[in-house]
Structure 1
Amino acid sequence: MIITTTWKHNFTNYDNLKAVNQAQFQHLKIFQPLATKKIRFQLNNLYDETPLVISHMEIYDQASHKVSVTLDNKSSFQIEPRLLQWSDWIDIDLPSNTFLSVDITSPKVEIHSVGLTISNDLVKTKINHPQMPKYFFGISAIQVQTEQTYEKIAFFGDSLTNQGNFSAPLSKDLEQNFHIMTGNFGISGNRLLHQGNSTSQWSTSFGEAGFTRFDHMLANFQPNIVIFMEGINDLLHPGTGTPISELPTSQAVITAIHLLKAKCKKHDATFVPMTITPAYGNMNDGVPGWNEKKNNYA
């Protein structure tokens, strides 16, 4: 059998969120493009200093046949701080192109290792408003056992990728109609050349610099294609809560993107860079993110 990743969503450190799991229960629906009889879950506690205690976790499909998820053959378990762990392989008869329901019961209310989406195309929470942020914890990837290999596309970038308004419907189309698996490696607020460094309450969640975390993505996900869209926050953040000294030149950004292309070539992956979006008129914490001084410097 071949192990295939059917869903991957980047987590980051939302240390400013104090009650992600206020109900001590989370219900998710995650799109699964492939039929399988074996499935496992990546359990994520990378950014917390205390264990993620999971009292019970179960999965079920549209037929509502519920199956417990275990770790080391235990239905109640915990993920130690700063770690990722894979659950045991779980037996389930899962059809293709369906939403898998996942229920997690946990007494832990304050959780910082969290994923974010706005789109409802790939992952659904109890909040279904199409423009409202949805935060979720616990599961950052799903793998199944298959009889063949599938091409993989990584979407890498900032909030425009992370929140899924373009990447999620495209991913679903690629998975459902072309049997190409995808992974979302976007982080809202992420910059290409610097880690999060801002007076904003969201600063920690902006994450590691894209240029360095790109290596982790290539090594771990091993994509065939990388769709890359990042760099706008490198221009907008300096001077709006981030030191203006961190404003890069246009040549620095261009050079970094060319180096990422070279990294992809070493991994036999095709690099597809997308245009940096327009910056004029952007407001960041009430301060204009772009001005003539920045324009002249860049």
Structure 2
Amino acid sequence: MADSGAPQPDNNAFGSADDIRRRLDELDYLVDDGTAAALFFALSLGQPLLLEGEPGVGKTTAAKALARALATPLIRLQCYEGLTAGEALYEWNYQRQMLAIRLAESHHDRLNDADLFSEAFLQERPILQAIRHRGPRPPVLLIDEIDRADDEFEALLFEFLGEAAITIPELGTFTAERRPVVILTSNRSRDLHDALRRRCLYHWIDFPAPERVAEILRRTVPAANDALIRSATDFVGQVRRIDLDKAPGMAETIDWVSALSSLGATRLVRDDVVRTLSTIAKTLDDRDAITEALDRLGAGSR
């Protein structure tokens, strides 16, 4: 079991927010100054970082890129309704326990609880895995879409988020030697508990400005020419001002320009836009709304 003293942050990887921004830039993940600063503070202060924003603005990708920049493993916990401690923190290997009991009985021995609920039968799930990680750097733990989990699940995280520790009743408290880099993401589909927010730094990621959208597209869809990128950036900006069920995010924009490029498009043509709408319109109502607005959105000729 790890020492119960407070773990220290591993804060020597980057000297400044600018260092993070430059390193992520080298990995083709472009961040604004605010996001770079939030990541830097999470590293230097050793605190979890809650990233909120619309779906598709790059919250999950930020954690993945940071793990690459740190050259450390990414451990991902995908949240969903009904997520339990056994799936997120730890659970016992009941099959091995039953086999051990049967083996003991065959030798006329008896196993007590201390024998059965020992580390030999402990199965690590993402959070315990992050706590017990050993390596040159602590891992990046991505707790993705925390807003999809139940309210009750948030309470299971309080000890870990505050102390980089979890308590297993049968074994005691496991505390990380060095704090994992913890990134939580939320699409804000529900309100998160104040107690969770108090344990985290916070940053809202906006949809990028047009200039940054264009630069991201140049990096991620190098086959697309500049005229297509400029017109697609402008088109998406106008689409996002329509009253839609789900406005296209950066992920959808990349998919759309990739689809257009795969058709050999070098400029926006109405027929190509219609053929590729499935990449940016995620509901029937949104598809119809965008289609009806094509003329005034400047989708080009047929």
TM-score by length of 2: 0.29
RCO (CA 8 Å, sep 6+): is it higher in 1 or 2?
2
TM-score by length of 1: 0.29
Relative to its length, the structure with more strand (as a share) is 1
Relative to its length, the structure with more helix (as a share) is 2
